[in-house]
Structure 1
Amino acid sequence: MALWLGRLGGWCARHGKIVLALWVIAAAALMGANLAFSSPTSNDASIPGTDAQRAHDLMKEGFGPGYAQGGTVQLLVYSADGPLTEEKRQQAVERSIAGLRTMPHVVQVDTPFRRGGIASNLQIGLITIRMEGHDPDKLAETTRALSKAADPARAAGMEVVPADSSTPADKEIKTGPSEIIGVVCALLVLVFAFGTLVAAMIPIFAALVSVASGLGVIGLLGWVVDMPKQAGIMATMIGLGVGIDYALFLLSRHRRLLAQGVPVVESVRRTVSSSGGAVVFAGGTVIIALSALMLAGFPLLATLGWVTGISVVAAVLTSITLVPAMLGLLGHRVNALKVPFLGRGGSSGTGWAGLGSWVARRPWGTLAASVAVLGALAAPALGLKLGSLDEGYGAQGSESRRAYELMATGFGPGSNGPLIVIAQLPSQVESAKDPIVEEVAREVKAVDGVAHVAAPKVNASGRAVLLQTVTEYAPSDSRAAGVVRDIRAIALPGVDVHVGGKVAGLTDAGDRMAERTPLVIGVVVLLSALLLLLAFRAPVVAVKSAVMNLVSLGAAFGALALVFSFGLGSGLVGMDPPANASYLQTIFFSVPVESYVPLLLFAVLFGLSMDYEVFLLTAVRQAHARHGDNARAVAEGLGSTGRVITSAALIMVAVFVAFIAYPDAMVKTFGVGLAVAIAVDATIIRGFLVPATMVILGRWNWWCPRWLDRLLPNLSVEGHEEEEEDEPVAERREPVGAGV
């Protein structure tokens, strides 16, 4: 692989204009197509084979208009000045209803002036619109048009809000200032590290091209697969981080070779042959970890995994083609536009090597202190509260948050997440007055936590009955999931009770995650350890590295628990508490973490942690191969990689922290978890824990049984190959500041 990568890098360096033009054209074309043919998004949390999915399938069978997916739109009408039943207000509402009945695809409009359609205070009413023949993928546009038809009510001084304005397409996350903030922070770190503006701009440009290309592909794929609303932002977050980091690793190696007088094209060839191999390997581990999410049995999670993987593939491809092309075009101008007093880096390696030597002299004490600190960071994870997020955690002032609050005030918190209870009957019935139907309704009403059950509706075949059920709890309340399970446990002779709806779907998702998590973790750890074994031919190092990557996850989950579950700063990261919350509640606002987030976070972090592990282990092994002194090799390996790993980690942390500003709660949890984990990984784990364990293990680090050595293929990952001092160099130049 190294030979092939070297040839590829050399070719790209010699044909830089062609490669650069092809990448720019491809990125522009893909992004242009994505913008021109923007695809819909879908956050369907259903899981094939679950009870919620069965209820969803039965709901389509003969229950009349509006019961298919996206077939119902609700408008909340609120009068702050008095009851809706006042004559002028009621007339305005009726005019709005008359207009709604003339809208395309509308087959039924239920007035709020009906039983169950108006709140007890008479100030909040619910207009229910049932539709057929419309495009479910354009429900956001349809909802806006229906809301516009209710302008007569607004003209009379009433507020009209779409109750289901939180449709996935409507909530799609748009690009915002976080990307700009992340890029600017990364640029500052690169300028400080390299000391030249030109060198600092190369990783930024390569990452932007890779992100644009990846987003273009993802956007177009949205036409053939259900694409979660967070897909684009997840791809951008990870794509920016790894894209800048991978280019940073290559650029650092190239500048060191130039400083030794190696010709430009030859330097690029060696860089891609060595560090390029490490980039391919590191990217491969991230992709493997994300691909394992397909084993979770949750389509939404699997899609987020492979979509994020596309951004990683794009980052790897730009790193081994576009970056070499730019390096070839720039030549020694890569060191142009120097910033005074920056990028000298002469003592940085000595400082990190000094830290390595300090750790080598007291490995057991360092190990104990590191474990204690990491244990303290991970301890809060025991209190991590998983659950589902509802619009009550949306941005204050948003239409969806306003609708949620009006629904909760007028009809109870459970009205924001009604359960769809469908019972399959043992025999055909003629009407909802049949004794078996009434018995089912009584059993559902008797379940603890059920606040209201709508009138039963029998389907066209007479073999199933639908009961829309409202619980006493908000959709995000864990007790709502308990009501779902209790209803499903109803036992009547010949009757099969199924529960659907958002709450039921997320309950099934949580159960499936708990069931499949050990499998996903086991596969990721096993495959990653196997890749490390192939790369280093050292079983002990492979197993130890996999365990070390798991350690940083404990700190990430601990941070999530502190910020969200315990509420120690959820207000500071932008989570909006209830409107009537006190100051302390604003700062300490407990927020559940979506049940699938920890598994997705595990896959992403495990792959990203492997990047730094590969570069550190490669440097230590090469130093050990030169002189055989284990403690000295650890110090030298840490000295040669410490600055580049720290710079890469700072960039990752800056990018992830910037994305905490996004309004979406899942993006916030990822930003917090990733930033903390990367910071801990690059400091405590790579700076202290890994060196200490390697010193303690001594010669066992690189031990390999002979039988295993014969079985393993000859595959190596060279992130920092030794300088070839004895190779003739055609172009000798004065050494320049290598920076990182």
Structure 2
Amino acid sequence: MSLPPAPSPSVLYRTGAFCARHPVWVIAGWLLVLAAAFAGRQAVGATFGDEVTLPGSQVSTGADLLKRSDPAAGAPSGKIVFHVGSGKVSDREAGLAKTLDRLKGLPHVTAVAAPVTSTDGATAYTAVSFDRKLKSLGHAYTERLDEATAPARDAGIGVGYGGDLHEIVRAPANDAASEAIGISAALIVLLLAFGSVAAALMPLVTALISVGVGLGVVGIVAGTLTFATSAPTLATMIGLGVGIDYALFLITRFRQYLIDGHDPETAVGRTTAVSGKAVLVAAVTVAVALLSLYACGLTMIGRLGLAATIAVVVTAVAALTLVPASMGLVGRRIDVLRVRRRPVAESSGDRDGWHRYARLVARRPWTFFTAGFALVALCAVPLFSMRLGHIDDGADPAGSTTRHAYDWMADAGGPGFGPGANGPFTLVVDLDRATVSADRVAGLLTDGLTKTEGVAHVTSPRPSRDGKVLVATVVPATGPQSAGTGTLFATLTDHTLPATLKGTGATGHLTGSTAGQLEFRDTVTERLPLIIGIVLVAAFVLLALVFRSLVIPLKAVVLNLLTTGASYGVLVAVFQWGWGDGLLGMGEPVPIESYVPMMMFAIVFGLSMDYEIFLLSRIAEEWHATHDNERAVGTGLSLTGRVITCAALIMTAVFLSFTGSPAVVVKMLALGLAISVVLDATVVRLVLVPSLMFLMGRANWWLPRRLDRRMPHLTV
């Protein structure tokens, strides 16, 4: 048979052909890079932490005032909670006293406060202050705490670690089991999709190598920048998902070229030149979406996006070099160890199931569009009751020391106890410009705060050592993640404190962990529209340049917004409404972690653009060749429907495997991303997109001539 002439040797074509000719050297080079990345990670000492800072905010201002006036009061601290099932803690005084003495002798402990006891005497707690940030002490410090509190346990007293001590006590999330499950599920899908062991292993092995390099680079960068603790897990999830997907798209086209009669080197070059360009554009789209998180001005979120971007960039480079080298090494032996008779490539002929499905959609576009839109809209309904917040220790596994401390404090009665004692506010009042006495200010504060609805207890405001500030503790009537605590925070900052201190010249600031989380939530909510706007505009411009149309990018951004809204809705139903508590190992319903929607929007939008680009690139190829819209849409759908479905199954399996993570935030991100991929790759990409394109006809490709002449030309 005669074959069409090879495309002109573009940079990507030459890159693919080179890797195919020298596969051993390219693969060896990647293995060396992998070893170097992990060695570099170990050498620099990667640092991960979840500290949130908002310079200039009231929480930050209050903390700075307290630190300057009374460094001891502003030192890092945590609570150790003691509880007995019957009787009183004081009945076991000897064990408690010995524990307090041992705590005072621990390294980095600067003070141990006298125990505060509940009304019934069954619960008590002591505040332990440290000379450095708790996170820096590491999880190994838990053993020292256990040794120090052993006398209390030996005396029959239960011991729990509360407050910020969870930064020490909680073991670093070990998601190795989740990764193994995800990889195993991906292998099964790949075997079913490709029909041979060699073809199935290739995407998996190349993705694992690229993810390993990406994690090593993230660790090296973490030696300079502090990433959030969930950054490595996020990078692994995204890297594995897109890495397998990119390889899947490339290998599928490579097999098609082999079936068409091309020699392996030419097939690799063509694949890299054509599908490789789609991979490149898709990776750039994901990276732009993730890096846009920096626009919110919140360092922690921006760096989460950076960690995921590093994984995506490394994966894309591997797709354009390591995957071609693997294809060149395997060549026509790609179907070795078959598990099915006929290999799966891009097309099985004009009469295969996907062609028949495309013709069905073309005949009834309104029916398919209405059904698809209704399903996505139904999933999005819970979105309108979304409540952002911070997940507190009450969501920790039952039986953990942090959960014990939380429950004991919440169930006990008396000043300093109750649900709000797990997340009190620290009130710092600046007296620098006060026009009345400190006693007068203290009296006004006590009166105003005790009359505020939602306040369970207020300590008497006390002056700092230098007398420049007053300090008090405000205990809410509700727990840290409760909506009532958020309402109280807004009431105190917007109404109670300004009204109480009016005319005194003093200014009040709420600080502490709970106040910081609530202020962070409010800041994220305020800046989310900015991130959405940036991502939408960037995606619209990129797609308009690539596909020479204004209608296609507009449709893409609207449908992607629908996908994101639907995934948000599912998260609300599962986590906030509690529909998935049993399945996900959750003890109680929780709010949506404040930064999860922002992270999800960037990731979901980027990943959904992957499928959009892979589908539209094939439609555009046929459109430019025939200018027949119905044929272009039908052909593009039939050529990519199978591979998009397989890719979605793989990515969904990878994401769902991480719902077994002990970290609730990782569970949220994993489930949200899995739901979004399922909806996007099935309902949106295979139902809504083709039905809309059939309905719009030639209008899909509308672009004003004047604009067309001025726009730079990019192709996929």
Cα distance change on mapping 1:495 and 1:574 into 2, 3 Å: same
Task: Measure the CA separation in 1 of the matches of 2:445 and 2:522.
Answer: 26
Cα distance change on mapping 1:418 and 1:171 into 2, 3 Å: farther
Q: TM-score scaled by structure 2?
A: 0.93
Structure 2 residue aligned with 1:396: 398
Q: TM-score scaled by structure 1?
A: 0.90
Cα distance change on mapping 1:668 and 1:66 into 2, 3 Å: same
Alpha-carbon shift at residue 142 of structure 1 (Å): 4.0
Unaligned residue ranges in structure 2 (runs of 5+): 1-7
Please tell me the residue identity of whatever aligns with 1:111: A
Pick one of 571, 574, 577 that aligns with 1:563: 574
Structure 1 residue aligned with 2:225: 225
Task: Give the superposed CA RMSD.
Answer: 2.3
Q: Is 1:574 the counterpart of 2:585 in the alignment? A: yes
Structure 2 residue aligned with 1:543: 554
Task: Measure the CA separation in 2 of the matches of 1:2 and 1:50.
Answer: 56
* CA deviation vs aligned residue, 1:257-293 (integer Å, no higher than 9, x gap): 1122212222111111111111111011111111111
Alpha-carbon shift at residue 541 of structure 1 (Å): 1.1
Give runs of aligned pairs for residues 71-470 of structure 1, distance below 5 A.
Answer: 71-86=76-91, 89-112=92-115, 117-132=116-131, 137-138=136-137, 140-163=139-162, 164-167=164-167, 170-341=170-341, 343-344=343-344, 347=348, 350-410=352-412, 411-427=417-433, 434-470=439-475
Alpha-carbon shift at residue 370 of structure 1 (Å): 2.2
Matched position secondary structure for 1:396: coil
Worse-superposed segment, 489-498 or 623-632: 623-632
Matched position secondary structure for 2:68: coil
Give runs of aligned pairs for residues 322-721 of structure 1, distance below 5 A.
Answer: 322-341=322-341, 343-344=343-344, 347=348, 350-410=352-412, 411-427=417-433, 434-488=439-493, 489=495, 490-491=497-498, 492=501, 493-577=504-588, 590-717=589-716
Cα distance change on mapping 1:134 and 1:535 into 2, 3 Å: closer
CA contact (8 A) 2:77 2:165 kept: no
Alpha-carbon shift at residue 362 of structure 1 (Å): 1.8
CA contact (8 A) 2:135 2:168 kept: no
Matched position secondary structure for 1:612: helix
Q: Is 1:46 the counterpart of 2:84 in the alignment? A: no
Alpha-carbon shift at residue 554 of structure 1 (Å): 2.2
Task: Measure the CA separation in 2 of the matches of 1:661 and 1:134.
Answer: 29
* CA deviation vs aligned residue, 1:574-604 (integer Å, no higher than 9, x gap): 2123xxxxxxxxxxxx321112211211110
Tell me how many residue pairs correspond in the alignment: 696
Worse-superposed segment, 125-134 or 557-566: 125-134
Pick one of 28, 43, 55 that aligns with 1:21: 28
Unaligned residue ranges in structure 1 (runs of 5+): 578-589, 718-740
Task: Measure the CA separation in 2 of the matches of 1:429 and 1:510.
Answer: 34
Matched position secondary structure for 1:337: coil
CA contact (8 A) 2:159 2:401 kept: no
Task: Measure the CA separation in 2 of the matches of 1:258 and 1:50.
Answer: 61
Matched position secondary structure for 1:127: strand
Alpha-carbon shift at residue 337 of structure 1 (Å): 1.2
Structure 2 residue aligned with 1:580: none
CA contact (8 A) 2:134 2:168 kept: no
Task: Measure the CA separation in 1 of the matches of 2:464 and 2:252.
Answer: 68
Worse-superposed segment, 9-18 or 36-45: 36-45
Alpha-carbon shift at residue 706 of structure 1 (Å): 1.6
Structure 2 residue aligned with 1:737: none
Task: Measure the CA separation in 1 of the matches of 2:169 and 2:303.
Answer: 16
CA contact (8 A) 1:66 1:132 kept: no
Please tell me the residue identity of whatever aligns with 1:542: P
CA contact (8 A) 2:693 2:700 kept: yes
Please tell me the residue identity of whatever aligns with 2:376: L
CA contact (8 A) 2:175 2:658 kept: no
CA contact (8 A) 2:459 2:474 kept: yes
Cα distance change on mapping 1:223 and 1:66 into 2, 3 Å: farther
Alpha-carbon shift at residue 429 of structure 1 (Å): 11
Structure 2 residue aligned with 1:30: 37
Please tell me the residue identity of whatever aligns with 1:532: L
Task: Measure the CA separation in 1 of the matches of 2:678 and 2:618.
Answer: 21
CA contact (8 A) 2:134 2:167 kept: no
Alpha-carbon shift at residue 526 of structure 1 (Å): 0.7
Please tell me the residue identity of whatever aligns with 1:424: D
Cα distance change on mapping 1:46 and 1:537 into 2, 3 Å: same
Please tell me the residue identity of whatever aligns with 1:20: I
Cα distance change on mapping 1:485 and 1:554 into 2, 3 Å: closer
* CA deviation vs aligned residue, 1:187-222 (integer Å, no higher than 9, x gap): 111111111101111111111111111112222332
Task: Measure the CA separation in 1 of the matches of 2:563 and 2:126.
Answer: 50
Task: Measure the CA separation in 2 of the matches of 1:573 and 1:622.
Answer: 44
| Percentage identity across paired residues of the two chains | 37
Task: Measure the CA separation in 2 of the matches of 1:107 and 1:505.
Answer: 24
Cα distance change on mapping 1:168 and 1:56 into 2, 3 Å: farther
Task: Measure the CA separation in 1 of the matches of 2:365 and 2:483.
Answer: 45
Alpha-carbon shift at residue 136 of structure 1 (Å): 5.5
Cα distance change on mapping 1:192 and 1:421 into 2, 3 Å: same
Task: Measure the CA separation in 2 of the matches of 1:272 and 1:216.
Answer: 26
Worse-superposed segment, 614-623 or 402-411: 402-411
CA contact (8 A) 1:427 1:463 kept: no
Worse-superposed segment, 137-146 or 638-647: 137-146
Matched position secondary structure for 2:166: coil
Matched position secondary structure for 2:456: strand
Please tell me the residue identity of whatever aligns with 1:310: I
* CA deviation vs aligned residue, 1:56-91 (integer Å, no higher than 9, x gap): 2222113142523xx2232222223431111xx201
CA contact (8 A) 2:196 2:336 kept: yes
Alpha-carbon shift at residue 140 of structure 1 (Å): 4.1
CA contact (8 A) 2:142 2:168 kept: no
Task: Measure the CA separation in 2 of the matches of 1:610 and 1:134.
Answer: 41
Alpha-carbon shift at residue 139 of structure 1 (Å): 5.4
